[in-house]
Amino acid sequence: MSEVRHNWTKEEILEIYNRPMMDLLFDAATIHRKQHDPNVVQVSTLLSVKTGGCSEDCGYCPQAARYHTDVEGNDLMSVSQVKAQALRAKEGGSSRVCMGAAWRNVKDGQEFDDVLEMVRTINKLDMEVCCTLGMLTENQAQRLAEAGLYAYNHNLDSSEEYYKEVISTRGYQDRLDTIDNVRKTNVTVCSGGIIGMGEKIEDRAGMLVALSTLDPQPESTPINALVAVEGTPLEEEKPVSIWEMVRMVATTRIVMPETQVRLSAGRTQMSREGQAMCFFAGANSIFAGDKLLTTPNPDVNEDMKMFDLLGMNPQKPFTKKVQPQSVEASDSRFEALGEKPKWTRPEHKIERNEAAKAKGKLVK
C-alpha cells in the first residue's frame, strides 16, 4: 500500500485529494505509521542569512526588490553571527538549520565562500545544515556537498502551468535543473510549494505529480500556506482554510510515503487542533523560530508546549541519513568555475506582478 511510486497521474492525485475527509485522514495516517514514527517531528530553524533586494519577481515574495514591502534588506551575515544563531536553535530543540539567501542564483566569490564556511561551522555543531540560495550549477552543488551540506531547498512552488502566473523571471525547467544538480551529489533534496496563491485544485495536484515523479522523490517537502504580504502581487489572496491544508498534507503523504512532509509558512494562522490534524495526516516536520525568513512564525516555546500536549518529540539529527563529513576549504577538490546557471526565461509578463512593481515605484 505504501510502496513508492513515480508514475502518479493528476487524475489519481485529484481522486485522493477529494476523498471524504475521514477516508483521506485514515488512508494518510495508515501510510504515515508504516513509514514513520507518528510521535516524532523534525524541527528546523530557518535563518535568513541575506534578506531582501532580490532581482526575481516571485509574486508571493516580500523580498523581491521590485515590490514595496516592509522588509528591510540585510547584507550577508557573518559566520560568527550564524554560529551564534545555530547554537540558539540547537538549545531550542532544532536538529536542522536552514540558511536562506534572497539570491536569484549562487555566484562564485567571497559570499559563496562564506556560505560554505557557515555550512562547515554548523555541521561541526552536529546539526543538519540546509541551504536555500536560488539556482545552483553542478559545481556549486558539489562544493556545498563537500562542505557538509545535508539538504538543499528549492521549491517547485506550484504546477508548471500555474508557475507562469506567479513568476516570470525564470522557468519551471530551471527549478528542475537545480534539483537535478543537487541530485548529482549526496545532498538530500527539499522541495515543495505554496497553496493559496489563487491556483486551482488541479494545480495542487499538478505540483504533486511533478514532485512525486522525481526519482528519487524529495526527502523533504514543505507545504506552505501563502502569507499574503502587503505590497506583493498576491497581497489580496484570501487565507487558505485548515481543511485545504489538511487535504494537501494528507495527499502529499499518500503519494510520497517516505518523504518528510513539512508544515511551513502559514502556521501562525493555524490552531493547535488544526496543526494536530496535519500531524495526524502525515506532516512530520516544522520550522521553528519566531520568523520564517521575513514572515511571522509561532514562538519556539509555544511549539514545545504543543509537542508536550500531543506527546510528541523532536527528531534527533541524522536519524534518516548519516552526518556528512566537512572538507576544509584548504583541502577542497573543487575550484570556483564562475559559471552561471542556464535559465530559460519565458517571454511573458505577468500583469499583477507588473502592477505591483509600478505601485512599488510610486511609493519608493
CA distance 101 to 107: 12
Which of 63, 181, 212, 294 contacts ligand SF4 by CB under 6 A? Answer: 63
The least distance separating ligand SF4 from the CB of residue 78, rounded to whole angstroms, comes to 20
Q: Name beta bridge partners: 262.
A: 222, 285
- 61 included as an active-site residue: yes
Enclosing H/E stretch for 286? strand 283-288
Q: Are 66 and 349 in contact (CB under 8 A)?
A: no
Q: Does 71 bind ligand SF4 (CB under 6 A)?
A: no
Cα–Cα distance list, 107 to 101, 135, 257, 340, 341 (Å): 12, 9, 35, 7, 9
Of the candidate residues 24, 47, 49, 56, the single one contacting ligand SF4 (CB under 6 A): 56
Cα 240–chain centre separation: 18
Using CB under 6 A as the binding rule, whether residue 102 contacts ligand SF4 is answered as yes
54 belongs to the binding site for ligand SF4 (CB under 6 A): yes
CA–CA distance, 173 with 8 (Å, rounded to integer): 19
Which residues inside 116-145 make contact with ligand SF4, applying CB under 6 A? 134
106 makes contact with ligand SF4 (CB under 6 A) = no
Residue 278 is among the residues annotated as catalytic for this protein: no
Interface residue with ligand SF4 among 58, 122, 270, 286 (CB under 6 A) is 58
Q: Is 262 a catalytic residue?
A: yes
98 belongs to the catalytic site:
yes
Measured from the CB atom, the residue of 102 and 145 that comes closer to ligand SF4 is: 102
Task: Give me the catalytic one of 19, 54, 143, 183.
Answer: 54
> Strand, coil or helix: what is 212?
helix
Catalytic option among 96, 170, 190, 267:
190
- In sign, the C-alpha dihedral spanning 92, 114, 180, 327 is negative
- Catalytic positions, written as ranges: 54, 58, 61, 98, 130, 190, 262
What is the contact surface with ligand SF4 in residues (CB under 6 A)? 54, 56, 58, 61, 63-64, 102, 104, 134
